[in-house]
Amino acid sequence: MTEMSYLDGNMLDGPLRELLAVDLSAATGRCASCGMVGPMAGLRVWAHAPGLVGRCPSCAEVMLRLVRAPDRAWLDLRGATYLQVPMPTAEPFPRPL
C-alpha cells in the first residue's frame, strides 16, 4: 500500500484556496526538474505527512509543498518553474507598447 499512498492534485484546491483566490489545481504547471508541463490536478500528492507534498507524475520530484500551522501557512513552489492560470479575458499586462 505504501507505493499507492498518494492522492491526486485535485485535493490541493481546498487547502490552497485558503491562501489564494485562484484554483491552482486547475492551473498548468511546469516541473523545474524534468520540464514536464501538465495540470497541477495531475500531481501526486502525499498527504500523510507533516504537510502536503505534490510531486511531478513524470519524474516524482517535488513541485509543491504546503504546510499549514493553526495561524500560518507556508507554500513552497520552487519545484515549479511556472504556473499557467486560466483567466477571464482581459487586456494583457504589460499592455502593448
Partner 1 sequence: MSPGFQGRRRTTDPALPPGQYLTEDFPVLSAGPTPRVPLDRWEFVLATETGDEFRWSWAELMALPQETPTVDIHCVTRWSKFGTSWQGVSLDVLLDGVDTAADYAQAHSYGGYTTNLPLDDLRDGQAWVVHGYDGEPLPAEHGGPARLLVPHLYFWKSAKWVRGLRLTVEDEPGFWETAGYHDYGDPWREQRYQGD
Partner 2 sequence: MTAAAPGGRVAAPLGWRVARLAQRRIETPTAQTLVLSVPGWPGHLPGQHVDVRLTAPDGYQAARSYSLAGPPDGDRIALTVQRVPDGEVSPYLTDAWAEGDPVEVRGPVGGWFVWRSEQTAPVLLVAGGSGVVPLMAMVRARRAAGSRAPFRLIYSVRTPADVIYADELRTRARDDFGLDVSYVYTREAPDGWRGEPHRIGLADVNTHGWPADLEPLCYVCGPTGFVETVADLLVGLGHPTRRVRTERFGPTG
The rounded distance, in Å, linking the Cα atoms of 42 and 39 is 5
* 5 near partner 1, judged by CB under 8 A: yes
Q: What minimum distance in Å lies between the beta carbon of 94 and partner 2?
A: 20
Q: Answer with the entry of partner 2, partner 1, none that 26 interacts with (C-beta below 5 to 8 A by kind).
A: partner 2
Q: Which one of partner 1, partner 2, none interacts with residue 62, CB within 5 to 8 A by kind?
A: partner 1
Q: Which is nearer to partner 2, 24 or 62 (CB)?
A: 24
For the bound state, the minimum distance from the C-beta of residue 87 to partner 1, rounded and expressed in Å, comes to 28
Answer yes or no: are the C-beta atoms of 83 and 28 closer than 8 Å: yes
Pairing mode of beta strands 52-55, 62-68: antiparallel
Q: Residues 40, 54: contact at Cβ < 8 Å? A: yes
